[in-house]
Amino acid sequence: MTATATTATAVDPVRTPRRAEIAPIPLSRVVRVELRKMFDTRSGFWLIASIGITGLLATIATVAFAPDDVLTYYTFAKAIGFPITVILPMVALLSITSEWSQRSGLTTFTYVSSRERVVGAKTLSAVIVAIASMLFAFAAGAVGNVVGSAIAGVPTVWDLSLGHALTIVLGNLVSLSIGTVLGMVLRSSAGGLVMYFVLVLLVPNLSALLAASQEWYHDLQPWVDLPYAQTFLFDGMHTGAEWAHVLTGVTLWLVLPGMYGLRRVMRSEVK
C-alpha cells in the first residue's frame, strides 16, 4: 500500500491551477466614469451648468442691446461662445487635477494602472463636453438670430459658413487644451486656476503692451503669443501665415509643456 501510494505521487505531479486572466477595463467605461465624475460634485455640476446659463444670458443681452444692423448669426454665436471659451479650460483643468486635489488618485490608479489611459479618458471626456457645449452655442445662436431679427424687424442674416464654424470649434479645443496642460503640469486645482487666469487675463495684455512699444516684438508677437494667434481661428482663417502662427503658438504653449506635464503625471507620487 505504501509503495503503491509513493509511486502514484511520483508519477502524477501536483498541478497548480492557472491564474485566470482579467480583461482590462475598456477605455469607453473609463470615459463614462470620468464624465460622471464631472457632474458628481456641486461645483462641477454648476460649472458645467453655467455654460448653458451664460449662453442664455448672452442671447438675451444680444437681442436687447445689440444694434439692429449687427443682428446676425455670427454675432449671436460669438456672444454665446465667449463664456464657453472661458469656462471649458476650467472644466478640463479640474478634471485632470481631481485625482490629486480630491486625493482619489490611489483608487483611480489601482483600478486603471495605466496613467496614460486615465489622462486620455479625462481629455476625451472634456472634449465631449466641449463639443456638446459648442453644439448648444450654435443652436442657441440660431434661435437667437431668428427671434432677434423678428423682434427688431430686420432680415435674418446667416453669415457663418461651415469652414468658419469649424475654425471656431478648433479655437475652443485649443482653449480646452490650455486647461488640460495646466492640470498636468501643476496637478493642483487652486494653482491651476490661478495660473489659468494669469495666462488669459494678464499675459495677453502685457504682450499687447510690449508689441505696441517695442518694434522687434511687434512682428514676433503672432508667432509666440497663442491668445493673439487664436483670434484668427475665431475670426476666420484667411491666409497660410495665420495657420503657421497658430501651429507655432500651439507648439510652444501646448505641445512642449504638455509633454513635460505628461512626464510629471507619469512620475508623480500618488498618496
Q: What is the pLDDT of residues 194-220, one digit of tens each?
A: 999 998 889 999 999 999 998 889 989
Report the alpha-carbon angle 61-67-70, nearest 5. 95
**pLDDT number for residue 37:** 84
Cα distance between residue 164 and residue 243, in whole Å? 14
**Per-residue pLDDT tens digits for 3-59:** 444 444 444 455 555 655 666 778 888 888 888 888 877 877 888 888 889 988 998
**pTM recorded for the entire structure:** 0.83
Contact assessment for residue 119 and residue 34, using Cβ atoms and an 8 Å cutoff: no
For position 207, what pLDDT does the model report?
Answer: 92
Within 10 angstroms of residue 142's Cβ, the number of other Cβ atoms is 16
- To the nearest whole number, what is the mean pLDDT of the chain? 85
How many Cβ atoms sit within 10 Å of the Cβ of residue 257? 15
Residue 14, φ and ψ in degrees, nearest 5: -70, 125
Domain ranges of the chain: 25-266
The residue among 90, 95, 99 whose CA lies nearest residue 123 is 95
The better pLDDT of the pair 183, 43 is held by: 183
Q: Are 75 and 66 in contact (CB under 8 A)?
A: yes
pLDDT digits (tens, 9 = 90+) for 80-114: 888 888 899 999 998 888 887 777 777 777 777 78
Among 200, 224, 197, 198, which Cα is nearest to 210's?
224
